[in-house]
Amino acid sequence: MSSELRLQPDRLRSHAVTAAGLSEELRGLLPVVPPSAGPGRPAMAAEHERLQAAVLVAVRELAELSAAVAGAATAAVAADSVVARMLRHVEEGLGPAHGGERA
């Protein structure tokens, strides 16, 4: 099958691992404790909450992307197997005169 048409499961798995790693690294960057109280701190606390919410959305989306890409890799392997099996059956049906299996 042409490489332009073929999904590359190993590359997909690699991308899935990368996305999962980025998700975990991003989650690790989140400070757990918001800025302490004091003058002018309510605005900082609100900004902290806003940033934390945005980062958590990105963390979730990266985790979902990782799962989807890993699923695509699995599906690509399964599809390749089905196509290969179908091509073998077609070759067998054509017989030796057409390049099929020889008995």
Count of all residues that appear for the chain in the document: 103
d(CA 47, CA 42): 9
Number of alpha carbons in the 13 Å side-chain half-sphere of residue 89: 6
Angle 75-5-8 from CA coordinates, rounded to 5°:
50
CB 62 within 8 A of CB 19: yes
> Mean pLDDT per segment of 10 residues, for the chain of length 103 residues?
68 93 88 65 81 90 94 91 91 72 50
Q: What is the pLDDT of residue 103?
A: 47
Q: Is the pTM of this model over 0.75?
A: no
